[in-house]
């Protein structure tokens, strides 16, 4: 029986090209979905600036803290706009594992146990409360900056329980599932196969932090990426990392909404 199972293992043909193609597909899909939402609901993008120009500034300008005169989109468009991004990330991982590998479970550790919930949540909460503070506390003694400013600008726009529910749904449910599948599933293992386990953990975490386009949050995102990658290496599955991501984002959102 073991010999038959072993004979079913196919040669892995996914790798770094799948990662970079997946990132490009995801960004394009995110912009396309946002443009479709703007057009479908006839949302105001600043009149003469045009939808394409607005999407460019809205998608990247907010991340890079660039000044913008256009009106802010309704808060509900944020999780809806993320659907394209998540679809690109998830579809890339599914296609790579299904057609170029041996499936999500075998290739990327797509599995979960009940014990993953308390372990992951504890690690994620600890990372958000303690590790993030340790990263920024020394610098805040000498520099005046608010690492949560970009995220607070989003949560401050929550005007109803429905808005808060949408933010929670996107940040606490959608992001952990699809980002962990892509970054700690495909990306971690692609870099690991190319350069070894240490480089896999470090480089995949840098990529994870970089694609958020948040300069101030970049160090914390990279460190969390390393923590999540180590969980995957320790438990040989994505479950603990997904729940760590849930805990990490949940504490951030609760803190921001409470302050707002």
% pLDDT > 70, the chain: 78
Mean pLDDT for the stretch of residues 120-148:
86
Give per-residue pLDDT as tens, 178-215: 999 999 999 999 999 999 999 999 999 999 999 988 88
Which has the higher per-residue pLDDT, 141 or 65?
A: 141
| pLDDT for the residue numbered 56 | 40
Residue 61 has pLDDT above 80, yes or no: no
| pLDDT for the residue numbered 170 | 86
104 neighbors 110 (Cβ within 8 angstroms) = yes
Residue 159 has pLDDT above 90, yes or no: no
* Residue 62 pLDDT class (50, 70, 90 cuts): very low
Mean pLDDT for the stretch of residues 46-67:
40
Q: In Å, how far are 130, 137, 186, 238 from 145, measured between CA atoms?
A: 18, 11, 34, 34
Q: Which of 116, 87, 131, 113 is nearest to 251 (CA)?
A: 131
Mean pLDDT for the stretch of residues 108-119:
97
Where b means 16+ CB within 10 Å and e means fewer, 105-115 reads: eebbbbebeee
* Residue 143 pLDDT class (50, 70, 90 cuts): confident
Which long-range CB contacts under 8 A does 8-15 form with residues at least 24 apart? 8/102, 9/102, 9/106, 10/101, 10/102, 12/100, 12/101, 12/102, 12/107, 12/193, 13/100, 13/101, 14/96, 14/97, 14/100, 14/101, 14/107, 14/186, 14/190, 15/190, 15/193, 15/194
In three-state secondary structure terms, 114 is coil
Residue 14 has pLDDT above 60, yes or no: yes
| pLDDT for the residue numbered 158 | 61
Mean pLDDT for the stretch of residues 145-166:
65
Tokens of 176: 């952990």
| pLDDT for the residue numbered 155 | 59
Residue 6 has pLDDT above 70, yes or no: no
Tokens of 109: 């550790």
Give per-residue pLDDT as tens, 81-110: 788 999 999 999 999 999 999 999 999 999
Which has the higher per-residue pLDDT, 161 or 232?
A: 232
Which has the higher per-residue pLDDT, 138 or 193?
A: 193
* Residue 141 pLDDT class (50, 70, 90 cuts): confident
Mean pLDDT for the stretch of residues 116-128:
97
């Amino acid at each position: 029986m073991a010999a038959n199972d072993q004979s079913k293992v196919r040669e892995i043909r996914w790798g770094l090209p799948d990662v970079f193609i997946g990132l490009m597909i995801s960004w394009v899909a995110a912009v396309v979905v946002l443009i479709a939402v703007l057009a479908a609901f006839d949302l105001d993008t600043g009149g003469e600036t045009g939808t394409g120009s607005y999407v460019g500034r809205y998608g990247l300008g907010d991340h890079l803290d660039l000044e913008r005169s256009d009106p802010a989109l309704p808060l509900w468009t944020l999780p809806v706009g993320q659907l394209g991004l998540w679809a690109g990330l998830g579809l890339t991982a599914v296609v790579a594992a299904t057609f170029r590998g041996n499936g999500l479970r075998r290739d990327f550790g797509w599995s979960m146990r009940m014990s993953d919930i308390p372990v992951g949540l504890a690690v994620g909460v600890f990372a958000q409360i303690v590790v993030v503070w340790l990263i920024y506390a020394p610098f805040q003694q000498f520099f005046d900056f608010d690492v949560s400013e970009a995220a607070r600008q989003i949560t401050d726009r929550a005007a109803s329980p429905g808005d808060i529910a949408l933010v929670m749904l996107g940040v606490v449910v959608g992001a952990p599932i699809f980002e962990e599948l892509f970054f700690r599933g495909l990306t971690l293992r692609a870099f690991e196969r190319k350069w070894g386990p240490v480089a896999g953990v470090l480089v995949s975490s840098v990529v994870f932090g970089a694609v958020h386009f948040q300069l101030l949050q970049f160090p914390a995102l990279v460190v969390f990426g390393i923590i999540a990658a180590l969980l995957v290496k320790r438990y040989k599955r994505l479950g603990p990392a997904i729940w760590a991501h849930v805990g990490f984002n949940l504490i951030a959102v609760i803190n921001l909404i409470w302050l707002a």
